[in-house]
């Protein structure tokens, strides 16, 4: 399709440690079209953030290394680009909001200086013009008295306001793709809703594409067009959001959905996914989810299942995927 913006093919990112090789991202593929939202969901350690950092070429080497795969953006493979070329793309064409704004913002520089840095670098504006643009960006993300607050420091902002600053920084150069890595972590529920509404509104206004990394299926339901479910570094299910919620075809996805509170279904208590994910250094030679799966049979311990197309556009990594799909309508 001519509106295909990002294509990730068979991405593998490993970490080479003294204990062994950690297969953090193992054969991940997906597409992102113009104006589209993709949710990447899974437990901590499933490979969500490493996937995003791999796209941005921000994996620290050593110990990490992108072993193989392709990341195509506008007809060019980002994994083959020079570091100098990637600096032109990062923050300019593809921007990222990191999990904790307090660790991403420099405490000794003003908010304005930190937003202006990217504007001056990528848009070649003088300091006065960059400052004006920084104030405009703070106003865009609904920070009151932006012309005064632009000269304040990160510690003078609340957690929600710091997250808004991070969004302003990420959008300051009008990127085509925004990667938001757990953008509502450590924020209270009302502020979380405000931040997500802001991201959705800005996406509509600016026409950008969004990759939202989260462990919250409720956030995905409200924000995303398509969903990529990851487990132990692999894609276990991939489909549009309606299909994922109405007819999930992987036991892990079903487990995630059953652990989400719902108002339309009365439950005694929420179901938890029993057990722990496998050790990424010593992965089994059978289905990674088998030990925790309530639907497992002896066949699940015989081989690692392939990602198969259950129906057009709906993929699952389960040998019983076609029989497993259940309706949540």
Place of tokens 């036991």: 251
- List C-alpha distances in Å: 132 to 152, 203, 265, 278, 288: 15, 22, 50, 50, 52
Final residue in a domain of this structure, among 231, 255, 281 = 231
Minimum mean pLDDT among 20-29, 162-171, 266-275, 278-287: which range? Answer: 266-275
| Digit-coded pLDDT (tens) for 126-170 | 899 999 999 998 998 889 999 999 999 999 998 888 888 988 888
- Confirm if 175 and 137 have CB atoms less than 8 A apart: no
Same domain? For 177 and 31 the reply is yes
- List C-alpha distances in Å: 106 to 85, 119, 323: 25, 17, 52
Please report, for the domain that includes residue 23, its CATH number. Answer: 3.40.50.300
Same domain? For 81 and 225 the reply is yes
Nearest to 15 by CA among 57, 49, 65, 52: 65
Same domain? For 214 and 241 the reply is no
Mean pLDDT on 22-41: 95
27 in any annotated domain? yes
Residue 327 has pLDDT above 60, yes or no: no
- Confirm if 207 and 34 have CB atoms less than 8 A apart: yes
Mean pLDDT on 301-305: 93
Final residue in a domain of this structure, among 168, 198, 231 = 231
102 in any annotated domain? yes
Final residue in a domain of this structure, among 180, 211, 231 = 231
H helix runs in the chain, sequence order: 48-55, 83-89, 101-104, 111-123, 127-140, 146-149, 159-171, 189-206, 217-223, 241-246, 251-258, 321-324
Same domain? For 89 and 210 the reply is yes
206 in any annotated domain? yes
DSSP 8-state secondary structure symbol assigned to residue 156: G
DSSP string computed for 84-137: HHHHHHBTTTEEEE-S-HHHHS-TTS-HHHHHHHHHHHHH---HHHHHHHHHHH
Same domain? For 268 and 130 the reply is no
Q: What is the band of 243 on the pLDDT scale with cuts at 50, 70, 90?
A: very high
- Confirm if 225 and 213 have CB atoms less than 8 A apart: no
329 in any annotated domain? no
Same domain? For 245 and 206 the reply is no
| Digit-coded pLDDT (tens) for 187-236 | 777 788 888 888 888 888 888 999 999 988 888 988 899 999 999 999 99
Same domain? For 171 and 312 the reply is no
pLDDT of res. 2: 62
Same domain? For 224 and 317 the reply is no
pLDDT of res. 174: 83
Same domain? For 45 and 152 the reply is yes
Mean pLDDT on 79-92: 90
223 in any annotated domain? yes
Same domain? For 185 and 210 the reply is yes
Residue 269 has pLDDT above 80, yes or no: no
Same domain? For 114 and 140 the reply is yes
Question: What is the gyration radius of the CA atoms in the chain, in angstroms?
Answer: 21
| Domain extent at residue 105 | 4-231
Nearest to 251 by CA among 308, 219, 291, 289: 289
306 in any annotated domain? yes
Same domain? For 148 and 273 the reply is no
261 in any annotated domain? yes
Residue 265 has pLDDT above 80, yes or no: no
Of the chain, the end-to-end C-alpha distance in Å amounts to: 31
Number of domains present in the structure of the chain: 2
pLDDT of res. 329: 45
């Amino acid at each position: 399709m001519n509106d295909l913006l990002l294509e990730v093919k068979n991405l593998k990112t490993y970490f080479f440690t003294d204990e062994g090789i950690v297969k953090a991202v193992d054969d991940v593929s997906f597409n992102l079209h113009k104006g589209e939202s993709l949710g990447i969901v899974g437990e901590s350690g499933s490979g969500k953030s490493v996937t995003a950092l791999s796209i941005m070429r921000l994996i620290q080497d050593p110990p990490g290394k992108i072993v193989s795969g392709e990341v195509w953006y506008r007809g060019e493979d980002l994994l083959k680009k020079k570091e100098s070329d990637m600096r032109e793309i990062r923050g300019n064409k593809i921007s990222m909001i990191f999990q904790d704004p307090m660790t991403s913002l420099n405490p000794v520089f003003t908010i304005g200086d930190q937003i202006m840095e990217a504007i001056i670098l990528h848009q070649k504006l003088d300091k006065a013009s960059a400052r004006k643009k920084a104030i405009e960006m703070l106003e865009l993300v609904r920070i009151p008295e932006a012309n005064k607050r632009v000269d304040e420091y990160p510690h003078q902002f609340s957690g929600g306001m710091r997250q808004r600053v991070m969004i302003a920084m990420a959008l300051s150069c009008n990127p085509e793709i925004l990667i938001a890595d757990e953008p509502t972590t450590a924020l209270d529920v009302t502020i979380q809703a405000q931040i997500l509404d802001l991201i959705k509104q800005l996406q509509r206004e600016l026409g950008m594409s969004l990759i939202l990394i989260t462990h919250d299926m409720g956030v995905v339901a409200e924000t995303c067009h398509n969903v990529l479910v990851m487990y132990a570094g692999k894609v276990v299910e991939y489909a549009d959001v309606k299909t994922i919620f109405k007819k999930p075809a992987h036991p892990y996805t079903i487990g995630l959905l059953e652990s989400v509170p719902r108002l339309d279904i009365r439950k005694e208590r929420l179901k938890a996914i029993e057990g722990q994910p496998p050790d990424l250094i010593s992965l089994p030679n059978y289905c990674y989810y088998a030990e925790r799966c309530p639907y497992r049979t002896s066949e699940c311990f015989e081989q690692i299942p392939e990602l198969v197309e259950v129906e057009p556009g709906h993929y699952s990594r389960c040998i019983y995927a076609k029989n497993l799909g259940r309706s949540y309508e």
